[in-house]
C-alpha cells in the first residue's frame, strides 16, 4: 500500500510539473519587457491597446449574445423533449453531439458557401448580418455543452409535476417556461453559460474566416508581431478561463446548499 501511494504521488508530481511549468514560464516571460528587471509593462501595453479593448469588448458581446440565443434555443427544446417527446431524445442528443464530430473549420467553410453574398440568405453581405451568423455559429459550437448542462438540470427536477401544477393553476406556456422551468434549472443554465463564455471569448477559426474583429484573431495577430505581449495575453486568457470554471463551481456549490424546489 505504501509503495503504490508513492507511485501515485510521483505521477501527480510529474503532472503538476508539466501543467505548472508552462504557466510559470509564460508569467515570467510576460514580466521581461523592461530590460534587466521584471515589470508589468507588457500588461500595461496590452491593456492600453485600443484594439485589445475593442476586440475583447466585441468578443464579450458575442459571448453574451451566444449565451442568450443558446439558452433560448436549448432550454425550451430540452424541456419539451423531456415532457412531450421523449421518443425524440436520441435524435436531439445525436444532433447536439454533431458539433464535436464536424470540425469547426468545416462548419464555417459550409457557412461561407451557403450564406455568401450571392446566396438566397446572404448573411455575409454586411457586418451586422455576419455578426448574427457568427453568433449562430458559436451557438452551434457551444451546443454540446449547453445541452448537456441543461438536460442534466432538467433531469434533476420533476418537470411533469411542475408543469401540471402550473397548468392546473392556469399558467400560460410562457409563464411556465420563464417563471417555473428557468428558475429551476438556473444553476445548469449558468454552468452552460460560463462554459460558453470560455469557449467563445478566444475562439479563432470562425472569427478569422468570417473576418470579424474578435479577440481570437487579435491574439493571433499580436502573436505574429510582438515578443512579450503574447505572454501577457496568454496569462489574461488563462485567468478568464479560470474565472469561468471557478464560477461554475461556485454556482454549483451554492445550489447544493440551497433547498431544492422539488424534493
* Contacts for 254 with CB less than 8 Å, ≥ 6 apart: 187
195 binds another protein, rule: CB under 8 A:
yes
Confirm if 214 and 55 have CB atoms less than 8 A apart: yes
For residues 152 and 190, give the distance between their C-alpha atoms in angstroms, rounded to a whole number. Answer: 13
Which range, of 26-34, 47-55, 58-66, 182-190, touches another protein by CB under 8 A? 26-34
The residue (of 49 and 167) whose beta carbon lies closer to another protein is: 167
Confirm if 192 and 78 have CB atoms less than 8 A apart: no
CB of 68 to another protein, least distance (A): 14
Q: How many residues does the chain have?
A: 263
Binder of another protein out of 54, 129, 156, 245 (CB under 8 A): 245
Confirm if 122 and 115 have CB atoms less than 8 A apart: yes
CB of 148 to another protein, least distance (A): 12
* Contacts for 17 with CB less than 8 Å, ≥ 6 apart: none
Which range, of 43-51, 58-66, 179-187, 192-200, touches another protein by CB under 8 A? 192-200
CB of 260 to another protein, least distance (A): 16
253 binds another protein, rule: CB under 8 A:
no
CB of 127 to another protein, least distance (A): 19
Which range, of 56-64, 148-156, 180-188, 243-251, touches another protein by CB under 8 A? 243-251
Q: φ and ψ at 202, to 5 degrees?
A: -110, 15
For residues 195 and 138, give the distance between their C-alpha atoms in angstroms, rounded to a whole number. Answer: 12
Residues 201 to 240: which contact another protein by CB under 8 A? Answer: 202-205, 208-209, 216, 219-220, 223-224, 230-231, 233-234, 237-238
110 binds another protein, rule: CB under 8 A:
yes
CB of 232 to another protein, least distance (A): 9
For residues 165 and 161, give the distance between their C-alpha atoms in angstroms, rounded to a whole number. Answer: 6
* Contacts for 107 with CB less than 8 Å, ≥ 6 apart: 99, 137, 140, 206
Binder of another protein out of 68, 98, 250, 254 (CB under 8 A): 98
CB of 95 to another protein, least distance (A): 5
Q: Angle at CA 175, nearest 5°, toward 171 and 180?
A: 95
Give Cα separations from 140 to 71, 102, 131, 144, 151 (angstroms). Answer: 12, 11, 14, 8, 16
The residue (of 47 and 85) whose beta carbon lies closer to another protein is: 85
40 binds another protein, rule: CB under 8 A:
no
Binder of another protein out of 47, 68, 114, 250 (CB under 8 A): 114
Residues 144 to 173: which contact another protein by CB under 8 A? Answer: 161, 163-165, 167-168
CB of 228 to another protein, least distance (A): 9
Amino acid at each position: 500500500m505504501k509503495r503504490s501511494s508513492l507511485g501515485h504521488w510521483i505521477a501527480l508530481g510529474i503532472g503538476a510539473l508539466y501543467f505548472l511549468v508552462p504557466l510559470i514560464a509564460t508569467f515570467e516571460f510576460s514580466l521581461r519587457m523592461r530590460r534587466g528587471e521584471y515589470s508589468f509593462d507588457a500588461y500595461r501595453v496590452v491593456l492600453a491597446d485600443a484594439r485589445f479593448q475593442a476586440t475583447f469588448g466585441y468578443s464579450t458581446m458575442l459571448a453574451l449574445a451566444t449565451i442568450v440565443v443558446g439558452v433560448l434555443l436549448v432550454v425550451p427544446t430540452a424541456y419539451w423533449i423531456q415532457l412531450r417527446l421523449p421518443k425524440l431524445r436520441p435524435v436531439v442528443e445525436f444532433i447536439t453531439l454533431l458539433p464535436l464530430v464536424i470540425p469547426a473549420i468545416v462548419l464555417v467553410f459550409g457557412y461561407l458557401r451557403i450564406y455568401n453574398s450571392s446566396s438566397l440568405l446572404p448573411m455575409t453581405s454586411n457586418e451586422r448580418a455576419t455578426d448574427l451568423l457568427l453568433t449562430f455559429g458559436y451557438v452551434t459550437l457551444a451546443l454540446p455543452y449547453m445541452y448537456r448542462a441543461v438536460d442534466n438540470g432538467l433531469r434533476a427536477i420533476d418537470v411533469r409535476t411542475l408543469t401540471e401544477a402550473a397548468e392546473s393553476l392556469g399558467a400560460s406556456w410562457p409563464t411556465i417556461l420563464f417563471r417555473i422551468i428557468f428558475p429551476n434549472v438556473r444553476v445548469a443554465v449558468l454552468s452552460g453559460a460560463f462554459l460558453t463564455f470560455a469557449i467563445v471569448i478566444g475562439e479563432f477559426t470562425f472569427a478569422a474566416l468570417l473576418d470579424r474583429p474578435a479577440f481570437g484573431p487579435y491574439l493571433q495577430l499580436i502573436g505574429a508581431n510582438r515578443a512579450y505581449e503574447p505572454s501577457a495575453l496568454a496569462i489574461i486568457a488563462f485567468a478568464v478561463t479560470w474565472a469561468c470554471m471557478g464560477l461554475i463551481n461556485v454556482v454549483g456549490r451554492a445550489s447544493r446548499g440551497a433547498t431544492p424546489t422539488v424534493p
